[in-house]
Structure 1
Amino acid sequence: MSTIALNPPPEIKKKPISFSNILLGAFLNLCEVSTLGQPLEVTKTTMAANREFTFMQAIKTVWSRGGVFGFYQGLIPWAWIEASTKGATLLFVSAEAEYLFKKNLGFGNFASGISGGITGGVAQAYLTMGFCTCMKTVEITRTKSAVSKSSWEIFKDIYRKEGIVGINKGVNAVAIRQMTNWGSRFGLARLVEEGIRKFTHKDENERLNGYEKILASAVGGGLSAWNQPIEVIRVEMQSKKEDPNRPKKMNVVTAFKYIYKTNGLKGLYRGVTPRIGLGIWQTVFMVGFGDMAKEFIANLTGETPTGKH
């Protein structure tokens, strides 16, 4: 009797917890936000808070608030604090979650990529991003004058009056944004990667080159802007723009109703153009340049970087 030899499925190995992954996340995000990231963030936030503005009107408004430096409002300290913590959280949690979804639930690359991104995005929002996004939006939207308080003084005033809730205003909207952001970005990037592999006849274990990785990342980042309405809602909840018609206490639902009532469906998509640019820029850094940075950090620390593809 002949026996048929069956090839066992490839073993899914757990990615080790590595200091290089934590260092990498902070490094990538600091690079991203200190280059094009913050100018795109400021422009996007200005348009979302002032929904009557065109793209060029937003650019002129930002420029009037300090020239080139106006595009870096909120960078120090809030964007740097956020960048040095959220990237580490995202890469560490998403890598671990992606492994668990593959190992325990049998998910493929696409499904585990989306699920890992969602899990990492939620962890980002509640562990690191709440007060940072709130204070960045306050800095970008508040009225400034020669006697304006510093960003730290504003932070202290909000904390003194409203406590933890005040400096984390809009955190639930941030969580929804981040889970849909990174679920889309990682999932779509993985889907495009699979398409590239089929087109170039590469197997699943063969690495993509730098150009292929960046292309997949850019497509994933750009398409993730589909959730712009939740971003506009987040900005409205955190904005310090003076508007007597705004509801005094807003949640995600009341903010949505207010924006839709005052600006219609179009208002929910204000700032989507710089958001697409920001999504591409962020994802190229976090996904596209990830492998190159992982190898560089591994050489510094002597560790094998986790999350390699």
Structure 2
Amino acid sequence: MSAVPTQPAELKKKPVSFSNILLGAGLNMCEVTTLGQPLEVTKTTMAAHRDLNFLQAIKHVWSRGGVFGFYQGLIPWAWIEASTKGAVLLFVSAEGEYQFKRMGLGNFGAGIMGGVSGGVAQAYLTMGFCTCMKTVEITKHKSAGTAKPQSSWSAFKEIYAREGIRGINKGVNAVAIRQMTNWGSRFGFSRLVEEGIRKFTGKTNSDEKLSAVEKIFASAVGGGLSAWNQPIEVIRVEMQSKKEDPNRPKNLTVGSAFKYIYKSSGLKGLYRGVTPRIGLGVWQTVFMVGFGDMARDLVARLTSQSPTAAH
């Protein structure tokens, strides 16, 4: 009797590999250093200064340093975040998606749950203090006088000395809610669009690969649609903001921040910054989902290992 494995090969658990870590870090570093950070700065500015429209926010950012104003918080916080969160997302989401498929979920359901798992892991393992410090850098007061502005590291040390770990991780629960809904939506919507493309093009066999254009289109739609959760992003910014606001309640929670924003700015205030957020969602997801397969092949050739993630 021949020894034939009873478990299908495609359900075999994939090991952690160095190439998976390299892929996640490389994709995120590229994304944030190009359009990612300018869109992040604009989005955060609009969420913190809810009286500004898109063009006014751009002018405000420009007044804080010209072109370099759009890269506030890039070094070191966005780079630290980018070099760590991608690996966490790609590994945890791929592992999660695999486990949920084993439980019987289809591509759409497993994609959502894998994204949710990766998003929560991102928030608590890597993104808490980085997101907080980026927001501090973008929203802190900058005088037009000759006084030298406080450096990022000085601000970090000051907050840590005054408030400890909680201070530099302020708003982490909002970050977790944002990330789990972000990536659950992105992966889920992307998988749903991919399935629609397969039916339209006749590529019903899972072994048939989508073209680069089809993959990127599905990723862009998933990224854009994930901006539905903008209210939690505005809440996150309010909790982490260093904007001088005497009316803001002390020690904000997710609930109290929601009440304050709604009371002061209405429903419209909860969706401030949604336009650059959609652009950021598309840009991030094209990198993390659309370019993932292409980058995976390149990294596999460089390291002789195959990345865990199929995203």
Answer yes or no: same fold by TM over 0.5. Answer: yes
**Alpha-carbon distance in 2 for matches of 1:158, 1:10:** 51
* Partner residue in 1 for 2:152: 151
* Partner residue in 2 for 1:290: 292
Q: How far is the alpha carbon of 1:306 from its aligned partner?
A: 1.9
* Partner residue in 2 for 1:68: 67
Q: How far is the alpha carbon of 1:10 from its aligned partner?
A: 7.7
**Alpha-carbon distance in 2 for matches of 1:174, 1:305:** 27
Give 3-state SS (helix, strand or coil) of 1:144's partner.
Answer: coil
| Equivalent residues of 1:15, 1:307 under 8 A apart | no
**Alpha-carbon distance in 2 for matches of 1:220, 1:35:** 20
Alpha carbons of 1:147 and 1:278: their partners in 2 closer, same or farther (altered >3 Å)?
same
How many residue pairs match? The answer is: 301
Q: Do residues 118 (structure 1) and 116 (structure 2) align?
A: yes
What CA deviation, in whole Å up to 9, does each residue of 1:213-262 have, x standing for no partner? Answer: 00000000000000000000000000000010000110000000000000
In percent, how many aligned pairs have the same letter? 79
Q: Do residues 237 (structure 1) and 239 (structure 2) align?
A: yes
Matches within 5 A, 1:79-228: 79-103=78-102, 105-145=103-143, 146-202=147-203, 203-228=205-230
**Alpha-carbon distance in 2 for matches of 1:271, 1:152:** 27
Q: Do residues 25 (structure 1) and 24 (structure 2) align?
A: yes
* Partner residue in 1 for 2:259: 257
**Alpha-carbon distance in 2 for matches of 1:195, 1:162:** 50
Letter in 1 for 2:221: V
Task: Name the stretch that deviates more: 274-283 or 203-212.
Answer: 203-212
**Alpha-carbon distance in 2 for matches of 1:226, 1:167:** 27
Q: How far is the alpha carbon of 1:14 from its aligned partner?
A: 1.8
**Alpha-carbon distance in 2 for matches of 1:308, 1:147:** 47
Q: Do residues 16 (structure 1) and 18 (structure 2) align?
A: no
What CA deviation, in whole Å up to 9, does each residue of 1:44-90 have, x standing for no partner? Answer: 00000000001000000000011000000000000000000000000
Alpha carbons of 1:10 and 1:25: their partners in 2 closer, same or farther (altered >3 Å)?
closer
**Alpha-carbon distance in 1 for matches of 2:200, 2:291:** 22
Considering only aligned residues, what root-mean-square deviation do their CA atoms show, in Å? 1.2
In structure 2, the gaps of 5 or more residues are 1-6
**Alpha-carbon distance in 1 for matches of 2:14, 2:108:** 18
**Alpha-carbon distance in 1 for matches of 2:273, 2:158:** 29
Q: Do residues 36 (structure 1) and 38 (structure 2) align?
A: no
**Alpha-carbon distance in 1 for matches of 2:10, 2:86:** 28
What CA deviation, in whole Å up to 9, does each residue of 1:102-152 have, x standing for no partner? Answer: 11x111110000000000000000000000000000000000133321110
Q: Normalising to structure 2: TM-score of the pair? A: 0.95
| Equivalent residues of 1:20, 1:301 under 8 A apart | yes
* Partner residue in 2 for 1:5: none
Give 3-state SS (helix, strand or coil) of 1:204's partner.
Answer: coil
Task: Name the stretch that deviates more: 200-209 or 26-35.
Answer: 200-209
**Alpha-carbon distance in 2 for matches of 1:295, 1:11:** 18
| Equivalent residues of 2:25, 2:83 under 8 A apart | yes
What CA deviation, in whole Å up to 9, does each residue of 1:14-37 have, x standing for no partner? Answer: 222111111100000000000000
Letter in 1 for 2:234: V
Letter in 2 for 1:54: N
Matches within 5 A, 1:273-288: 273-288=275-290
**Alpha-carbon distance in 2 for matches of 1:194, 1:174:** 30
